[in-house]
Amino acid sequence: MISTNQELFQTLEKLVNAWCERRCLGALRAILPAYPMNSPLTDSWGELLVAMQNVRAFAGAELPEEEKRRLDECILGVSSMLRNR
């Protein structure tokens, strides 16, 4: 479970780097409009959440199971953070 912003961004950086190396264009197309974030405001967090959900929905078939699991952890972490604001 992702519990800090630092852990979230480290995980996202590893995922994005892996997608770049494999040229996983579907996942990159979905995540790059929101990552890296432009501001720390709630709107940017919401955009990041939607982008990660889009990766899962539209590029999930391109991802290995471990990446899907890590992506789901990121989604849960951001969802939880947004609910608690």
Give the torsion sign (CA, 46, 48, 50, 52).
negative
**Helix (H) / strand (E) containing 38:** none
Quote the pLDDT of residue 64.
97
Q: What is the pLDDT of residues 7-65, one digit of tens each?
A: 999 999 999 999 999 999 999 999 999 999 988 889 999 999 999 999 999 999 999 99
Q: Which structure tokens are listed for 20?
A: 């770049």
CA angle 71/36/74 to nearest 5° reads 20
CA–CA dist 11, 9 (Å, integer): 5
**Domain extents for the chain?**
1-37
Quote the pLDDT of residue 43.
92
56 neighbors 68 (Cβ within 8 angstroms):
yes
